[in-house]
Structure 1
Amino acid sequence: CQFFPSKEPWYLVYENFYYDPIFNDNGTCVRMTGKSREDGNTMFATAEFWPSPSMELDVALTSSPGYDVDNVIVITNPKEPSETFKLTIAYIESETCVIVRHSYVDEGRGCSYWVPESQLGKTIRCCEFIFDLLCGTPQKHAIYEEGGCPE
């Protein structure tokens, strides 16, 4: 999974559902920056949610049944280890976009669309088409707002 750890922050652009217990508390910006720990085997992410405070999350990559590539992102809040969430990578272009399914939303049908900082504000037709194809088009709740993220 080449987008994580990341060279640049990734931003949540939109979701096909309204409320996300991890990434969205009705804020205007969700930004994730992933890094490897010193041991080289584990990762963490700084998750920034404006206007709420940021938090450090433990991150692991694993394979779902039948796959031999790491296609599941397992996120754990180290302050609440019982809070573990799984995001399945539905589609990835490692320097352009990531579309993930949220196992904890609408029986796994919840999807979110992420782009790296260098792609903010750009129309990425292929990624947007694949989001619509995999996740449906009736509802897209915009999370990222230009100017909504502090520097």
Structure 2
Amino acid sequence: MLSVLLLAVCLLISGGISEDDAGETSSTDEEIEETTSTTPLYGPIFNYSETNPELQKYQDAWKFMTSNESFHMLYRNFNTNPTGANTTNCVNATLIYKDEATHYVLHTVTYLNTTSNMTIGFNKSYTVISSECYTTRNVLNGTVAGTNTSELYPFAFANDNCAVIRKHSWSNETFKACELWVFSSALYKELSCCHFVFDLLCTRGYKQKTYDLELCKPKETEVNAVVTESSTITDRGTQ
């Protein structure tokens, strides 16, 4: 309960929630009972501190994942490398396709392997679903292209700058695995609320940095190549 109140304070300070909205979160028992009885029970069940239908408008996974703007993983509190080495950087995702009817999205994900200095890419698809008692689609049911494996990613928090996303399969009673993703336009913004929510809701102590602003910014040669290509297209169009 304390974490929910602190989250509301963070949203109020950052402008993500109005005073009217803050009042709405303090529903009476009768209102909560009415909401629960009229909301269809379907979807996966979670027991995280922020799992609350009254907070669902701050956990809109569909809105975040269907943005035309690329987003980047700043850090996570776990490491998938079996040796514990930090060899992954410049992690970003870009929307390729979305289906409004089925709530299916496809992204291309790229990252830099700092050992080989090679950029690796793959496609990852998701069906965006609602957890139990939610009407907002707040959970990613993700699959890696070419595999039969899938896992759930509940959104703990999302706004116009960032999203704190849980990796449910890596979480248990004592450890809560999370990732912090940020839109390109927010990389150089003040993100204190995003960092606060991550530290509030996710296990603290270790953070694997997966996006270094200096390392990951476009190289001058890449920028020049884009400019040259655009100029060539313009020249062709005027001929």
User: Partners of 1:16 and 1:138 in 2: how far apart?
Assistant: 8
Q: CA RMSD in A?
A: 2.3
TM-score (norm 2): 0.55
Query: Is 2:115 the partner of 1:50?
Result: no
Alpha-carbon contact 1:4-1:35 (below 8 Å) kept: no
User: Partners of 2:206 and 2:69 in 1: how far apart?
Assistant: 28
For this pair of structures, how many residues does the alignment match? Answer: 146
Amino acid in structure 1 at the alignment position of 2:158 = I
Higher Cα radius of gyration: 2
The structure in which a higher percent of residues are strand is 1
**Helix, strand or coil at the partner of 2:188:** coil
Give the equivalent residue in structure 1 for 2:186. 119
Alpha-carbon contact 2:177-2:203 (below 8 Å) kept: no
Instruction: Give the CA deviation at 1:68.
Output: 1.8
Equivalent of residue 176 in structure 2, options 84, 87, 109: 109
Residues 133, 58 of structure 1: alpha-carbon distance in 2 compared, 3 angstrom cutoff: same
**Residue deviations 1:45-65 (CA, integer Å, cap 9, x gap):** 001121352011112100112
Amino acid in structure 2 at the alignment position of 1:92 = A
Give the equivalent residue in structure 2 for 1:35. 96
**Residue deviations 1:75-105 (CA, integer Å, cap 9, x gap):** 112311x221211100010x21100110121
Residues 39, 14 of structure 1: alpha-carbon distance in 2 compared, 3 angstrom cutoff: closer
Query: Is 2:161 the partner of 1:96?
Result: yes
Of all paired residues, the percent bearing the same amino acid is 25
Alignment of 1:10-25 (within 5 A): 10-19=71-80
Alpha-carbon contact 1:90-1:99 (below 8 Å) kept: yes
**Larger deviation, residues 63-72 vs 6-15:** 63-72
Amino acid in structure 2 at the alignment position of 1:61 = V
Residues 118, 109 of structure 1: alpha-carbon distance in 2 compared, 3 angstrom cutoff: same
**Residue deviations 1:32-54 (CA, integer Å, cap 9, x gap):** 11233478643200011213520
Amino acid in structure 2 at the alignment position of 1:106 = S
Give the equivalent residue in structure 1 for 2:200. 133
Query: Is 2:138 the partner of 1:65?
Result: no
TM-score (norm 1): 0.84
Alpha-carbon contact 2:122-2:145 (below 8 Å) kept: no
Give the equivalent residue in structure 2 for 1:85. 151
User: Partners of 1:54 and 1:124 in 2: how far apart?
Assistant: 27
User: Partners of 1:112 and 1:123 in 2: how far apart?
Assistant: 18
Bigger relative contact order, structure 1 or 2, given CA contacts below 8 A and separation 6+? 1
Give the equivalent residue in structure 2 for 1:2. 63
Residues 122, 38 of structure 1: alpha-carbon distance in 2 compared, 3 angstrom cutoff: closer
**Helix, strand or coil at the partner of 1:64:** coil
The structure in which a higher percent of residues are helix is 2
